[in-house]
Amino acid sequence: MIAKAPAPAYCHGCGQPYPWTLQAREELRRLTEEIPDLTGEERAELSDAIDDVIDQSPIRKERSLEKVKQSFLAVSAVLWDQAKDILARIAVHGLEG
């Protein structure tokens, strides 16, 4: 059996995100709407963390991924599993757990 490699998130020529990368970002933002009791500031911080994870900023990615993970896990493991599935489609690494 041959494993299917995830599609690249960004064009190697121009650096622009592919449509599926933009779609993944929007899906994650919609999932954040299921996290109750977030203030506007907390929601903005989570949105920034999602951007860092998807953009795979080497400096901020690990800390941001942990923030995203803990925010979703605070609601339910099912919500985190949905977020992990979205991130895995665009080849985000470090999703164990």
pLDDT tens per residue, range 10-37: 788 888 888 988 998 899 999 888 888 8
Distances from the Cα of 94 to the Cαs of 38, 42, 56, 59, 84, in angstroms?
25, 23, 11, 14, 10
Residue 92 lies in domain? 62-97
The answer to the question of residue 79 being in a domain is yes
Read off the amino acid at residue 85. D
- As a whole number, the mean pLDDT across the chain is 82
Beta-carbon contacts of residue 32 (< 8 Å; ≥ 6 apart): 38, 43, 46, 47, 50, 71
42 pLDDT higher than 80: yes
Q: How many domains does the chain have?
A: 1
Alpha helices in the chain (DSSP H): 19-32, 40-55, 61-73, 77-89
The answer to the question of residue 96 being in a domain is yes
pTM as predicted: 0.72
